[in-house]
Structure 1
Amino acid sequence: MEFWKRWQSEDSTARSSASFMIVWRYTYGFGRKSHALSVGFLSEAIQCDQRTVKAELRKLLDCKILKVAEPFHGSSSRKLSFNKYVNQWLEVGKTSPPSKKIRGEQSTTSEGSKSSPLLGAIHHPR
């Protein structure tokens, strides 16, 4: 699939790759275009702290690889999906400065869609 070819060409970190694969598994892996994925859930799946998950999600959202299909409402998690238009993806690490976010509020991307952080890192035992 074109997603995988494009992702393989990215100069991504292990954390970004783990995040990408977890979101892939819980969306397309189960035949869904989007799915509600909380920071806590992703943190456990990737075995890292929530702050790392948020930073990795922010990168993938800023690079337009992931998008927020539905923002969070109260206690429900936001729904994440992939941007199927891989020609719109930006290179990881070569995006514009991250959008400012006030604690507890959603940030808005330049296209006016709502987005907020969500992904993480791989735990490497030593």
Structure 2
Amino acid sequence: MASPQIDHGYTRIANEILDQTMKRKFNGTQLSLLMAIWRNTYGFQRKEHEMSIRFLAEAIGAHRNQVDRELTNLVERHVIIVVSTGKRGSRVLRFNKNHEEWIDCHLNSGLSAKTVTELSPRKVTEHTANPRTKKERIKKRNKETRPTKKYDEDSTYYKMASYFHDKVRAVAKAEGLGHLIIKANLQSWADQMRLLVENDEVEKRLARDVMDWVVTDSFWKTNILSAKKLRDKFPELALKMKATGKQGSGRQNNQMSQNEKLMREIEEEMAREQSGAEEAFSYHQQLLPELPNGRR
């Protein structure tokens, strides 16, 4: 008969953490992951520890894909913090006991628990705060899921994708996470940039500033490793950037890098478009007949 005793070991955890955990909308796998992380940090009188996906999967008896998916959700919601990359190449994880920073996904009418788990916090907010008709939702979904178009290397969106990819690749390599973007598809990244600008109506200059900033932020640089994640989190990232009053320092070096050349070309293209519009307006003004009072 099992007879657990605290003399054989126990995990000290504040009651406030347990109270907040019970109130939040975590699914079964997420709760198991939280307990596994508590066990291997607080249970050994430490705040953080290197834990691989395989280790956590064995600890809670779940498939690695499922663990990877739900752990990513906890990281995105600021419940778990990725501190760094450990000596064995896995992530060093820490539980964020400041529950006021957690991003919660509240269940609402029309949203199942599975739906809340799969949606990012940004998408849940959009769904609950700005409900659409079924026809509008289908139209928006079809627009975003249409086959990815082919982008030339000289196109603006491809240049934006290449610019961000090079920055992310440098961060991933430095953090030992290069394997996560080794198969990055720049065509897909370019399409996400198009959606960011055309669908989300984000200005290109703001997009560039956020790209520069996110790869320097201690928390986000290891959590935004793709163009899709950048787009999904863009509103939150832009607010964080403005709140900290910082922007990326990638252009402080006097010697222009290849990435900076790409963004300079994008800016010049935008300037040419504006100049062309002004010249066309001036030309049409000249064609108008002059009125007696000197006006056209």
Instruction: Give the TM interval when normalised to the shorter protein.
Output: 0.7 to 0.9
State how far apart, in whole Å, the 2-side matches of 1:72 and 1:36 are: 6
For the pair 1:50 / 2:76, whether they are aligned, the reply is no
Letter in 2 for 1:47: G
> In 2, Cα distance between the equivalents of 1:12 and 1:78?
22
SS at match of 1:29: helix
Listed one character per residue, the Cα deviations across residues 79-126 of structure 1 (whole Å, up to 9, x for unaligned) are: 1001121100011446236xxx998237xxx6932248xxxxxxxxxx
Once the two structures are superposed, the pairs formed by residues 72-91 of structure 1 within 5 Å of their partners are: 72=86, 75-91=88-104
Residues 1-126 of structure 1: pairs in structure 2 closer than 5 A: 1=14, 2-72=16-86, 75-92=88-105, 93=116, 95-96=121-122, 104-105=179-180, 112=217, 113=219, 114-115=222-223
State the AA in 2 paired with 1:95: P
**Following the alignment from structure 1 to structure 2, what is the Cα–Cα distance between the partners of residues 49 and 6?**
27
Is the contact made by 1:33 and 1:82 (CA closer than 8 Å) also made in structure 2? yes
1:77 Cα shift?
1.5
Superposed displacement of residue 69, structure 1: 1.3
Q: After TM superposition, give the deviation of residue 43 of structure 1 in Å.
A: 0.7
Q: Do the aligned partners of residues 115 and 80 (structure 1) sit closer, same or farther apart at CA in structure 2, a change above 3 Å counting?
A: farther
Unaligned runs of at least 5 residues, structure 2: 1-13, 106-115, 124-167, 170-177, 182-213, 225-296
- Could you report, residue by residue, the CA deviation over 1:15-56 in whole angstroms, capped at 9, with x for unpaired residues? 111011001110111111000000000111111111001001
Hey, which of these two has a bigger chunk of helix by percent?
A: 2
In structure 1, runs of 5+ residues without a counterpart are: 117-126
Query: In structure 2, how many angstroms separate the alpha carbons of the residues matched to 1:84 and 1:10?
Result: 14
Asked whether the equivalents of residues 34 and 79 of structure 1 are also in contact (C-alpha less than 8 Å), the reply is: yes
Q: Is the 1:68–1:80 Cα contact (8 Å) retained in structure 2?
A: yes
Question: 2:46 & 2:121 partners in 1: Cα distance?
Answer: 28
Counterpart of 1:120? none
For this pair of structures, how many residues does the alignment match?
109
Structure 2: how far apart are the matches of 1:90 and 1:3?
Answer: 15
SS at match of 1:96: helix
When the two chains are superposed, the root-mean-square deviation of aligned CA atoms in Å is 2.6
Q: Is the 8 A contact 1:71 1:115 kept in 2?
A: no
Considering only CA atoms, is the larger Rg found in Structure 1 or Structure 2? 2
Moved over 4 A (4+): none
**3-state DSSP class of the match of 1:64?**
coil
Question: What is the Cα deviation at residue 72 of structure 1?
Answer: 4.7
Which gives a bigger RCO, structure 1 or 2 (Cα 8 Å, sep 6+)? 1
The 3-state SS of whatever aligns with 1:12 is coil
Partners of 1:33 and 1:115 lie apart in 2 by 20
**Normalized against structure 1, the TM-score is what?**
0.74
